[in-house]
Structure 1
Amino acid sequence: MILAVIDTSTQFAGVGVVDDAGKRVTRAWRSDRNHGRELMPALVESLAELSLAPTDITHVAVALGPGGFSAVRVGISTTLGLIVAKKLPVLGVPTHDIEVGPFRDLVVSGIPVYSLIPAGRQELSWMRHSETPDDVGPDAQTGVSSPQDFLDRLEPGALLCGEACDLMVGLVEDSR
């Protein structure tokens, strides 16, 4: 199995490749609205590091958003270009799940972690990640709001992660 991973949902883009032996190559960069121009060269370079070509890909995982409309579209369109002709399996991963990934141990230990993603117009998309039953399935706590409205619902002891954390700078400190 040769897995290609694509995330263009925010201004921080990334690709990864995992080969049959479990070797992996990853690249991440700040994309200044150039996802379409930068994505395939980064993926091809990552494949080449493992002596692979795009035709060797057998599976693809792609970030589904939320995120910038055009940015998400680039990742999904590129994925479709890779999978359609060969009918490859694809896995879509919500961007909120990607953002909280490095903090999964904290979530499992009972600390609520909110992932924050820019939603335009000085708003943010947020999701509360915790190990309580009310945060699973259709009742998961998620929304889009202004930073101040989000702060009004934020419980003490919660941690924040994600690209929209910069919208909270100053607000969180002032509220504590």
Structure 2
Amino acid sequence: MTPDSSSGPTVLALDTSGSAGSAAVFRQGHVAAARFEIRSRGHAERLMPMIAEVLEEAATSYQDITRLAVTVGPGSFTGVRVGLATARALALGLECPLLCLDSFALLAEQAREARSGDEDTDTPLAVLIDSRRGDVFLRCYAASGAPLGSPEGCSPDALLARLPRGPLRLAGDGAERALALPELAEQPYRFVETARHCDARSLAHWAARPSATDDSLAAAPLYLRAPDVSRPREASAQ
């Protein structure tokens, strides 16, 4: 079986950056197969079987793939590394482009897909990703989709001051926890349920666009804080 370039790219998209894992195959203009699992750990053991499942369901072989897509974080250090290492190896072996998108942009894409009504089209978006260390990774977007400032790590106490004033849509797995904070509970905020976790289906749609090759990030992890690792005793004693 050989790729049919006349029907557009055949994309294998992967995400293991956060508290879920997913894989999707996009071909002939639509998502042909997808898997999505809530999974805060065990990405390394599950990812390759998940890829095999979506390829089989989509009647697609590795040789049919013309683009790989993966998220680069922020999120779980281990999950980000697993996804990137797998995608890099596949792209190298298949000699096809590797397209990368950060988790903020993917969740913002999913939130835009869920928009309905005039109110949503005029409402900014804040993406909050749980860091698993008590704070969140935050990036805000204008209603137009343009980023508002750089991504940052943010403590719960500082959230209200960092968020745009007025009505706001929230996405990401850190959003519900933020909405439980007393100072945020009374704000005109709405959580976009379908943009809670990164989903490879939306990533595959993005990667199939002609503009994706220009918008792709470098194939390197996006970290907003240092990994939590213990230094060797002899090094720390110096």
Q: Same fold (TM over 0.5)?
A: yes
Provide the C-alpha distance between the structure 1 equivalents of 2:157 and 2:34, rounded to a whole number of angstroms: 35
Structure 1 stretches (4+) deviating beyond 3 angstroms?
20-23, 105-108
Identity of aligned residues (%): 25
Residue 136 of structure 2: aligned partner: 124
Which has the larger Rg?
2
Question: 2:154 matched to which residue of 1?
Answer: 145
Aligned length: 173
Higher strand share: 1
Which deviations, in whole Å up to 9, do the C-alpha atoms of 1:15-65 show, x marking residues without a partner? 110123645211111113110011111111011012122333221111111
Distance 1:112 1:48, change over 3 A: same
1:99 and 1:23 map into 2 onto residues whose CA distance is 18
Asked if the contact 2:68–2:91 (Cα under 8 Å) also holds between the matched residues in 1, the reply is: yes
Counterpart check, 1:161 vs 2:176: no
Give CA-to-partner distance per residue, 1:71-100, whole Å, 9 cap, x none.
000110010111112321111011111112
Compared CA separation, residues 82 and 108, structure 1 to 2 (3 A): farther
Among 180, 200, 225, the alignment partner of 1:170 is 180
Q: In structure 2, what is the Cα distance between the partners aligned to 1:130 and 1:16?
A: 28
- Structure 1 gaps of 5+ residues are none
Task: From 57, 78, 93, give the equivalent of 1:85.
Answer: 93
TM-score (norm 1): 0.87
Pairwise CA RMSD:
2.3
- CA deviations on 1:129-176 (whole Å, 9 max, x unpaired) are 11469x44xx63432111220123322211211111233142121667
Structure showing greater relative contact order (alpha-carbon pairs closer than 8 Å, 6 or more residues apart) = 2
- For normalisation by structure 2, the TM-score amounts to 0.66
Query: Which runs of 5 or more structure 2 residues have no equivalent in the other structure?
Result: 1-8, 189-238
Structure-1 residue corresponding to 2:14: 6
Assess if the C-alpha contact under 8 Å between 1:61 and 1:90 holds in 2.
yes
Q: Counterparts in 2 of 1:10-25, with a 5 A limit?
A: 10-20=18-28, 22-25=30-33
Give the 3 Å change call, closer, same or farther, for CA 58–132 of structure 1 in structure 2: closer
